[in-house]
């Protein structure tokens, strides 16, 4: 489930992931809640992700609350060009702890990383907040596509790991996975 302030780019991130496209033009706010399915290969399995896109506007908050308890994972987005949306992530984390299951997978995402000139929130600030709440963190751009696939892939892996866990498996850490994969992408390495 995607949550976060209105306008941070939840719908665009989902459309980028699902259709590989960027929704430019007029900003159309989500009304209530919407969902899309995507089947993704994960190792030797196929995983069906049902991804819920919620409205960030305050007036839809009670609708969103009703869905928290069924969510296995929450992607909490803020906009790196909006300090206000970043500051509000603490309130979102409060809502998550109130309404979602204790073991829900949480990933904090700073979106719109392509907007370098307008940036108001440093990468390190996002990283620090994520460490404080012990959640995974990454920055994305729905516009360029940067890290969008990786965000969903990391969460899907964590969910699969939790579901299929066998005591002999090495421990999976979504934070370590994201770190490793993004370094690999940055260096163009392929192993």
Ligand X SMILES: Nc1nc2c(ncn2[C@@H]2O[C@H](COP(=O)(O)OP(=O)(O)OP(=O)(O)O)[C@@H](O)[C@H]2O)c(=O)[nH]1
Point out which residues bind ligand X (CB under 6 A). Answer: 6-12, 23-24, 27, 29-30, 55-57, 111-112, 114-115, 141-143
Q: DSSP secondary structure string, 28-79?
A: ----SEEEEEEEEEETTEEEEEEEEEE--SGGGHHHHHHHHTT-SEEEEEEE
- Kindly tell me which of 143 and 157 has the beta carbon lying closer to ligand X: 143
Spatial distance between the Cα atoms of 77 and 31, rounded to a whole number of angstroms = 17
- Kindly tell me which of 20 and 41 has the beta carbon lying closer to ligand X: 20
**Closest separation between CB of residue 70 and ligand X, Å?**
19
- Kindly tell me which of 40 and 115 has the beta carbon lying closer to ligand X: 115
**Closest separation between CB of residue 165 and ligand X, Å?**
33
**Closest separation between CB of residue 48 and ligand X, Å?**
22
- Kindly tell me which of 25 and 188 has the beta carbon lying closer to ligand X: 25
**Closest separation between CB of residue 166 and ligand X, Å?**
38
Helix runs in 69-142, H state only: 83-87, 89-99, 123-133
∠ at Cα 162 (159, 166), nearest 5°?
140
Beta strand 73-79 with 2-4: parallel, antiparallel or unpaired? parallel
């Amino acid at each position: 489930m995607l949550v976060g302030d209105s306008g941070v780019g939840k719908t665009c991130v989902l459309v980028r992931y699902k259709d590989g496209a960027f929704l430019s033009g007029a900003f159309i706010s989500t009304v209530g809640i919407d969902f899309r399915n995507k089947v993704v290969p994960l190792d030797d399995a196929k995983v069906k992700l049902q991804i819920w896109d919620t409205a960030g506007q305050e007036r839809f908050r009670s609708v969103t609350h009703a869905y928290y308890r069924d969510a296995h994972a929450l992607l909490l987005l803020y906009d790196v060009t909006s300090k206000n949306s970043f500051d509000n992530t603490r309130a979102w984390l409060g809502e998550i702890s109130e309404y979602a299951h204790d073991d829900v997978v949480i990933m904090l995402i700073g979106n719109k990383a392509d907007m370098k000139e307008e940036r108001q929130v440093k990468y390190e600030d996002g990283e620090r907040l994520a460490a404080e709440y012990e959640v995974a963190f990454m920055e994305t751009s729905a516009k360029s596509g940067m890290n969008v696939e990786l965000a969903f892939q990391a969460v899907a892996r964590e969910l699969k790991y939790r579901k299929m866990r066998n005591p002999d498996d090495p421990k999976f850490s979504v934070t370590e996975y994201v770190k490793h994969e993004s370094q690999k992408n940055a260096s163009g390495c392929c192993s």
